[in-house]
Amino acid sequence: MSSKTDRMKELIAVLDEAGKAYYQESREIMSNYEYDALYDELVSLEQETGTVLAGSPTQKAGYEVLSELPKEVHQSPMLSLDKTKDVERLAEFLGSETGVLSWKLDGLTIVLTYQDGKLSKAVTRGNGEVGEVVTPNARTFKNLPLQIPFRGNLVVRGEAVIRYSDFKRMNEEIADMDAKYKNPRNLCAGSVRQLNSEITAKRNVNLMVFALIQAEENGTPVDFKNSRMEQFDWLKRQGFDVVEHFLVDSRNVAERVGWFSEAIAQNDIPSDGLVLLLEDIAYGESLGRTAKFPRNAIAFKWKDETAETKLEYIEWSPSRTGLINPVAVFDPVELEGTTVSRASVHNISIMEGLELGEGDVITVYKANMIIPQIAENLTRSGRLKIPEVCPVCGGKTEIRQTADVKCLYCTNPECQAKQIKAFELFVSRNALNMDGLSEATMEKFIAHGFIREFADIFHLEEHKDTIVAMDGFGEKSYQNMMDSIEAARKTTLERLLYGLGIPGIGVANAKVLSKAFQYDISKIRSASLEELTEIDGIGPVLAEGIADYFADPKKSQCLDRLLDEVEIQKEEAGEEQTLEGKTFVITGAVHHFANRDALKAYIEERGGKVTGSVTSKTDYLINNDADSTSSKNRKAKELGIPIISEDDFIGGTYADTSGE
């Protein structure tokens, strides 16, 4: 008994974590396939042992809501549905009754309240008892009626969804593959729970009604002739889009399920199954509920489409943390309408659990119709060898175990895969300013061996076929990235210096260095410590770091190769240095410049210096609100530092105030 109880505790912990991620954080850490298998195992153990542990997901319908949105208790609890994957079970559920079969939509459930014909409130499902009020966001849904003919009190439930076509369009507009949305359900949940309804409005959210909870006029319930079908028809007449549905009985339910299974391929609205609801309202409600499920409805979940294939090999993919992830590469198979040939195995423990070996016959599926995963290994040869050296740098590897999970790591601190932050700085906005190269994207390129040093970024076209085939990329994303890289070939010395990641060289010091050495990279590379320390703002420690960087033979060779790829633009004639020797602090909103950074650049171009805090060395605080009680204003007044407006600054009327 104890071993079964221990297993139940393990299952509860895993399922609870997955449920928390799904309901609270709008993300998925395991597929429906995996969740259902673990859930069914827990149900079986509870039935076998007669024990149900506190906190079991079989006894609760959701998770606590955590956000800044207002909370509200539902008038009637929103329960989960019991589920099955067997069509025969649907016929058994109906018996001699008729039912309404409809799509089980994959979005975010919303409870809508109408009073006197107008939408008054919209609340998310939340944990089934307490939801989040999202009324301003619901008012932006594309198809939701804000006013209806019915003038009584109406409460309905619907599913907020984002269509596949809209999801695809939005992803195509995003160049960075790692910024792309993972699936329509997560995008929809994040869109509906926004604090800014303007963002929701841009996401093309639709609302499909699937249940009528209450309809009363002057305290009298509307007569729907005891029929769910009549309710749906009435809701249509009110202007709602209702979920597609059909009347069925035990004789034709299997045939209608077959119709849905064929229609799902062309269905533009995300769905993860079907719902069967008893047509007879009174009878269904008389059945009551269990601790978690209502007895008048049942969900039918699609069996994940699996395909049998042969494992070719395991590709080991290093990351910036040193973790080396195993990725299964197998003979291409068709799943959910696309060809797949790779699947993450996640870690050594999973790989060993599957007993993988080259040539094994495996079954694969697409988690959430998107992410390829291995379902089973039919051969279980266990012949795979764990690499002793890192595939990127050749450094020694070691297996580390944390919380019963074994993972492989590269031990070489100089491994290129670990230098991801340096590459991230190099492509950042203030450096070479390359779009489409996020940290995660470069991590993948490094793991594939495409990038080993900065110059390699300019030769990614050599790997076009592989990049375009990566999940979430494609021709358009690839071309946008390459256009940005090509544009970055023409740059300035200060951008290049900042992008190299020399210790202590930020944007400001890069400008100082460039100017001090007449924008000549060769002069900076050969500068002595004495020459460097003579520059205002460059102390002995910083000077030594600069000199050491350029003296390093390996870094020097990498820089030579990088300089072959870029063209350093000659600086235009500089502005008159009218602000030289003056130090400014900028705070508050600006009106004459695009933003504070633009004003800062204006000052620096004219020889001035901009710092972030007011000190005794500050000459002027620029603030359009001189009466503000901000900490910078108070500090300036304490130190007797003039507070000037933009108009004062531009007009030069502050020049005589410095001595006040």
- pLDDT tens, position by position, 396-440: 999 998 767 789 999 998 787 777 878 888 999 889 999 889 877
pLDDT for the residue 658:
39
β-bridge pairing 620-622 and 643-644: parallel
pLDDT over 70 percentage in the chain? 90
Using DSSP's 3-state secondary structure scheme, residue 330 falls into strand
- DSSP lists the bridge partners of residue 622 as 586, 644
What b/e readout covers 318-340, taking b as 16+ CB neighbours within 10 angstroms?
Answer: bbbebebbbbbebeebebbeeeb
Cβ atoms < 10 Å from Cβ of 426: 23
The torsion defined by the Cα of 21, 22, 26 and 32, in degrees rounded to 10, comes to 120
CB within 8 A of 237, min separation 6: which ones? 149
pLDDT for the residue 402:
74
Model pLDDT for residues 338-347, shown as the tens digit of each residue: 788 988 888 8
* Position with higher pLDDT, 528 vs 607: 528
Q: What is the mean pLDDT of the chain?
A: 86
Mean pLDDT of the region 368-374: 69
What the block records as the tokens of 73 is: 């208790």
* Position with higher pLDDT, 640 vs 596: 640
- The whole-model pTM stands at 0.50
Which of 607, 625, 615, 619 has the alpha carbon at shortest distance from 655?
619
Q: Looking at the predicted structure, is the pLDDT value of residue 100 above 60?
A: yes
Model pLDDT for residues 10-43, shown as the tens digit of each residue: 888 888 887 776 666 556 667 666 777 888 888 8
| Secondary structure tally for the chain: helices H, strands E | 24, 25
Q: Looking at the predicted structure, is the pLDDT value of residue 361 above 70?
A: yes
Judged by average pLDDT, the poorest of 43-57, 286-300, 622-636 is 43-57
* Position with higher pLDDT, 52 vs 103: 103
Q: Looking at the predicted structure, is the pLDDT value of residue 64 above 50?
A: no
Res. 369 pLDDT band, cuts 50 70 90:
low
Name residue, tokens 């209806």: 148
Model pLDDT for residues 558-611, shown as the tens digit of each residue: 999 999 999 998 765 456 778 888 899 999 888 888 788 888 888 887 878 888
Q: Looking at the predicted structure, is the pLDDT value of residue 200 above 50?
A: yes
* Position with higher pLDDT, 581 vs 144: 144
Alpha-helical regions (H) of 205-328: 228-237, 253-263, 281-286
- Radius of gyration of the chain from Cα atoms? 32
CB within 8 A of 554, min separation 6: which ones? none
Q: Is the dihedral of CA 118, 120, 124, 127 positive or negative?
A: negative
pLDDT for the residue 65:
46
Q: Looking at the predicted structure, is the pLDDT value of residue 298 above 50?
A: yes
Q: Looking at the predicted structure, is the pLDDT value of residue 321 above 90?
A: no
Residue 408's φ and ψ, nearest 5 degrees, are: -100, 135
Mean pLDDT of the region 544-548: 91
Mean pLDDT of the region 285-298: 89
| Residues acting as catalytic residues | 104
Q: Looking at the predicted structure, is the pLDDT value of residue 320 above 70?
A: no
What the block records as the tokens of 122 is: 């919209």
CB within 8 A of 428, min separation 6: which ones? 499
Q: Looking at the predicted structure, is the pLDDT value of residue 66 above 50?
A: no
